[in-house]
Amino acid sequence: MDMLEPLPSSQWNEVTAAHLLNRAGFGGSPQDVDNLHKMGLDHAVSWFIDYEKIEDETPSPDWAHPDPQLLAAREAIRRAADPETKKALQKAQNTAEYVQMADLRYWWIRRMALGPRPFQEKMTLFWHGNFATSFEKVRMPYFLWLQNETFRQNATGNFNKLLIAVSEDPAMLQYLDGANSNKNKPNENFAREVMELFTLGEGHYTEQDIQQAAKAYTGWGFSADRLHYEYHPKNHDDGPKTVFGQTGNFTGEDVLNIICKNPQCARYISGKIWRFFVQDQPPQAVVDALAKEFQGHDMDLKHLMGVIFRSREFYAPDVIRAQIKSPVQWLIAAARQLQAPLPMQPMTLVMLSSLGQELFQPPNVKGWDGGIAWITTNNLLDRYNFAATLVEGQRVPMPGLVNRMKGLMNSMGEPGLMEIVPADVKSLFGPEELNTPENFLAALQRRFLDGTLKAQRLTPLRDFLKGRSPIEEADIRKAIRLLMSTPEYQLT
């Protein structure tokens, strides 16, 4: 059997359709699975990856535009001579930044949950983790929104073009100090990370490659208003550099082009994509086959994703329902399965922060580790508690979590309590599905698992429902809570 051979049509069923829905997007309802299944494999994959055909009129945040007033405010802080005045101005600036960041985080999570192009958003989330930058250092919410748009607009285009665009984004220039690099003192931060974390991986470059590449990246900087990328020839080292055995008067873009032509780049990016969308430990044979496809099609990301989503390997039994949900995946999938709106902004942001995935603030330049790292003793308990909150809609006191949100919560009413409307659980099931415990259990597992519980966890549910006919609303709620607190529910 050839590697990456398409899945036979005989194996395209509700299980494999649900798998594609979960991995290419963020999951959905049984009706969503049915709709995808009826398309057939080829059309289903095309529906995800050819998202340009789908209209997306999602508006940008109101403040997402160059704002000289923000920089003027920063300059006023810098110039303030009186310590009390400086402190007051800085506090006001911090509050404005936190409010914008809260807005940006919620804007994006809603776009992932409700937007018409789930795969484009899933790819944007992948690139956010690969080219990790953080509000903690960038500080400018506008820069982070701009970078988010760069990921979105180049999500499935040519990787080489994406790499150049991201490298010259203001957020990256700020985060890895590229704007402070010049020919007299080249900064090596970006030169190192672009090789180690963004394109090649450890062990596939030398210290000399980093030092020489850092010279090539000099001249990158900001415009006079410090709101845009601008190339400054006077700051650029225009002498010869030797990178990966090639010598020339290279610019930064020249070096990025050289990196993309390195076969290791195709292997590294293919492997990272496989780990994000498919499984934590990709077989080397699969990575090699993907890299060959990727490089052979001029680093075209849409082609690569089409090969992955149509391949037998993507639908292998040990891949389906074997990936731990990220906090973003967990929350959006839960809302879709419950056919409930996302919680309001404060609660949504507190949930994601508590569960370990605060958007626009990854733990470090490596991004999130993912996989088993999503599960700790504390945040697993938080998953169970938040599941109860989504189902029951109770008012939950969480002063400890609220405090993590710092200035944001100070502007909210009742900062220790955040209300969620109870899910309309009875509307999720038809009369026949609620007629007997066995019918209900089958429908429950189909909606929330796209699979089945292990016997040791199904038995308590069966015992709980024994003799109940029809199943009442209170029992539906408890059964959903119990299922959402199982290990199986943490997987997708």
DSSP string, 36-103: HHHH-HHHHHHHHHTGGGS---PPPPTT-S--HHHHHHHHHHHH--SHHHHHHHHHHHHHHHHHHHHH
Q: What is the pLDDT of residue 32?
A: 97
Q: What is the largest CA-CA distance in the chain?
A: 83
Measured CA to CA, the distance from residue 277 to residue 290 in angstroms comes to 13
Residues near 170 by beta carbon (within 8 Å), at least 6 away in sequence: 140, 143, 146, 147, 222, 227, 228, 229
DSSP string, 258-301: HHHHSHHHHHHHHHHHHHHHT-SS--HHHHHHHHHHHHHTTTBH
Q: Give the C-alpha distances (Å, rounded to integers) separating 195 from 206, 258, 264.
A: 10, 11, 10
30: preceding bond cis by omega (within 30 degrees)? no
Q: What is the pLDDT of residue 404?
A: 52
Q: What is the pLDDT of residue 367?
A: 95
Residues near 123 by beta carbon (within 8 Å), at least 6 away in sequence: 151, 155, 156, 301, 305
Q: Give the C-alpha distances (Å, rounded to integers) separating 291 from 202, 253, 256, 340.
A: 18, 22, 18, 40
- Check if the beta carbon of residue 187 is closer than 8 Å to that of residue 181: yes
- Check if the beta carbon of residue 489 is closer than 8 Å to that of residue 448: yes
Q: What is the pLDDT of residue 93?
A: 87
pLDDT mean by block of 10 residues, the chain; 492 residues: 90 98 98 98 98 97 86 82 87 90 97 98 98 95 97 98 98 96 96 98 98 98 89 96 98 98 98 98 96 98 98 97 98 97 92 96 95 94 93 66 50 57 94 96 96 92 92 96 96 96
Partners of 6 in the β-ladder? 311
Measured CA to CA, the distance from residue 365 to residue 413 in angstroms comes to 35
> Residue 198 has what DSSP assignment?
I
Per the document, the length of the chain is 492
